[in-house]
């Protein structure tokens, strides 16, 4: 199988706020959420898989929830 998609560039990864779900490109280097001051996740807290989608709510590798469920209404 051809593997032409790989040209040496790593895929973009995202930093995700587990409290409000806000995500920013990891390349921005933000460490904390500008909405609520929560430390951003740069990968799955369980397996360490990078977050590859800005809309991810669960780890694509192990299925762990990325968003905190604390404070639900
Ligand atoms: Zn937040
Ligand atoms: Zn995981």
Mean pLDDT of successive 10-residue stretches along the chain, which has 73 residues: 69 95 96 97 97 96 90 52
For the question of whether the overall pTM of this predicted structure is more than 0.95, the answer is no
* 7 Cα to the center of ligand 2, angstroms: 26
* 36 Cα to the center of ligand 1, angstroms: 5
CA distance linking residue 17 with residue 64, whole number of Å = 15
Three-state SS for 65? strand
- CA torsion 53-13-17-41 (nearest 10°) is 130
* 46 Cα to the center of ligand 2, angstroms: 5
- CA 66 distance to own-chain centroid: 8
Using alpha carbons, list the distances in angstroms from residue 48 to 6, 23, 62, 63, 66.
22, 17, 10, 12, 11
Query: Which pLDDT score is estimated for 10?
Result: 83
């Amino acid at each position: 199988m051809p593997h032409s998609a790989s040209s040496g560039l790593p895929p973009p990864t995202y930093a995700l706020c587990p409290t409000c779900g806000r995500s920013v490109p990891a390349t921005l280097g933000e460490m904390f959420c500008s909405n609520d001051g929560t430390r951003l996740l740069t990968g799955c807290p369980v397996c360490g898989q990078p977050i590859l989608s800005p809309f991810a709510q669960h780890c694509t590798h192990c299925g762990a929830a990325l968003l905190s469920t604390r404070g639900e209404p």
